[in-house]
Amino acid sequence: MSDEWRPRSWRMPDGGTLVEGPAFPLRPTGPDLRGSEGESLTEERTYYRLNPEGRLEGSFEAMDWSLEYEQGVQTYHVEGSALLRLYATYDCYSDERVHRADVEREGLVPLPPEEAPSAGQVRALAAENRERMRAEGLRTRHPDWPDGGCR
What value does the mean pLDDT take over residues 71-98? 87
* pLDDT band (50, 70, 90) for residue 14: very high
pTM over 0.85: no
Contact (CB, 8 A) for 13 and 49: no
**Is the predicted pLDDT of residue 146 greater than 70, yes or no?**
no
Share of the chain above pLDDT 90, in %: 28
The confidence score (pLDDT) of residue 5 equals 64
Structure confidence by residue, pLDDT tens digits, 25-59: 877 666 676 777 777 777 888 899 999 998 889 88
Report the SS3 class of residue 63.
strand
Q: Taking all residues of the chain, what is their mean pLDDT, rounded to a whole number?
A: 81
Helices (H), the chain: 119-135
Closest to 17 measured CA to CA, from 103, 144, 96, 121: 121
Q: Are 15 and 105 in contact (CB under 8 A)?
A: no
CA distance 151 to 146: 11
Asked if residue 12 has pLDDT above 60, the reply is: yes
What is the predicted pLDDT for the residue at 104?
94
Neighbouring-strand partners of residue 34: 40
3-state DSSP assignment of residue 19 = strand
